Structure 1
Amino acid sequence: MITINLLPKRFKRRADIERINLSIVAMLILLFVIVGLTIELLFATKKFLNANIETLESQQQAYEDFFTSDVNKDINDKIVKTNQLAIQVGKIQAGRTSWSELLTELAIVTPPEIKLTDIQSNILNKSITISGRAETRDRLLDYSKSLESSDYFASVDLPSSYLSSPTDISFEIKANLSLATSSAGD
């Protein structure tokens, strides 16, 4: 293959340099256009965000005005009082005795030979006094032991003066309640 060189080397080198310079200028122009568009996009984003911030601030102020109004102060005060009452009710319920369970247990451990005449409770001391009549001393002692073995009663006190008679005994038993609380309803 034959190459014909119509341009001298000096002009050829100059044409190559011009072509490179033209490419560099084109890349710089493209770079400036991209930077300009990016700056414009950032300014538009800033303007949009500032507008949204102003809207949010005005909404926040409206909410603050609404929640600090007299009507809402009354509602908030009522909510606080209701919450305090709920806490107090919870404390009361936590310390309550389940009388249904207690009376059911008392009925279970009471044999037919024991007739109960009175049941008194002292809620503050968590104690109970059981009065009644027993047919025999042995049945009364068994009943006292049954109460003591129950999960619901502790420190069962049957005075020895009730054990002097062998039959037809009127008695009064005192016991502490060991059933602290119950979450089930009565």
Structure 2
Amino acid sequence: MINLIPNEEKKKKVKDFYYRLLVTAFAVFGFSILIAGVAMLPAYFLSSVRKNLINSKLETEKNQSIPSPDKETLTVVEDLSKKLDLIEKSRNSRYLVSQKVINEIMSEKMPDIKITQIQYRNESIKGKTISISGVASSRDRLLLFKRELENNIAFKKVDLPISNFVKGSNIKFSLGLTPS
């Protein structure tokens, strides 16, 4: 089939097609922007009304004077304060083994002595005591560990029962300390 349309007309038709396509795309884009704006308007109005309502409530609360507490409230606050002071005093009087005591024990410990348990007791008869359980590689190392703890000023008394020396190696021991 022979094309009888001249080249200039063909170019003009292609150009017109692209113009129409561009105009249609802009129209669709504009229409979608319009629809989105209309869809968002109720949410915008609702949020602006809420904002104005909250601001007005804030202004009225700022303008109101703060009432002074009555006697009953003051007595409740005082009572609560006394109770809290009592709790704090009882907490301070309790025996809490500090990191210092644990560090003192660990500084005297040799690499071949393994500590498995540290217990703290505050008994009315004996007072404050620390019990250490563990495993020592030999009698000599256990005795050396005991002497190091005795020489440490953090401990008044070090008790190592003789029954701990029955076994020759891999000795499971229990040691009692009285802190200074």
The AA in structure 2 aligned to 1:97 is: L
In structure 1, the partner of 2:130 is 128
Quick one: distance in 2 between partners of 1:136 and 1:72?
71
Report if aligned partners of 2:114, 2:134 keep a CA contact under 8 Å in 1. yes
SS of the residue corresponding to residue 171 of structure 2 reads: strand
The AA in structure 1 aligned to 2:108 is: V
C-alpha deviation, 1:133, in angstroms: 0.8
Greater relative CO, 1 or 2 (CA 8 Å, sep 6+): 1
Q: Deviations over 1:54-109 (max 9, x none)?
A: xxxxxxxxxxxxx9x8x223313422431343144134314433421111111111
Quick one: distance in 1 between partners of 2:130 and 2:97?
13
In structure 1, the partner of 2:174 is 172
Q: Deviations over 1:18-41 (max 9, x none)?
A: xxxxxxxxxxxxxxxxxxxxxxxx
The AA in structure 2 aligned to 1:144 is: K
Quick one: distance in 2 between partners of 1:121 and 1:96?
9
Q: Which runs of 4+ in 1 moved over 3 A?
A: none
**Runs of 5+ unmatched residues, structure 2:** 1-67
Quick one: distance in 2 between partners of 1:96 and 1:84?
21
**Runs of 5+ unmatched residues, structure 1:** 1-66, 179-186
Aligned runs of 1:58-69 on 2, under 5 Å? Answer: none
The AA in structure 1 aligned to 2:111 is: P
Quick one: distance in 1 between partners of 2:71 and 2:153?
51
In structure 2, the partner of 1:82 is 81
Quick one: distance in 2 between partners of 1:105 and 1:116?
13
In structure 2, the partner of 1:160 is 162
Change (3 A) 1:146 1:92: same
Quick one: distance in 1 between partners of 2:143 and 2:103?
20
The AA in structure 2 aligned to 1:96 is: Y
The AA in structure 2 aligned to 1:78 is: V
Q: TM-score, normalised by structure 1?
A: 0.51
In structure 1, the partner of 2:103 is 104
Quick one: distance in 2 between partners of 1:122 and 1:116?
18
C-alpha deviation, 1:137, in angstroms: 0.8
Change (3 A) 1:168 1:98: closer
The AA in structure 2 aligned to 1:89 is: E
Change (3 A) 1:172 1:78: same
C-alpha deviation, 1:153, in angstroms: 2.4
Quick one: distance in 2 between partners of 1:97 and 1:157?
21
Percent sequence identity over matched residues?
27
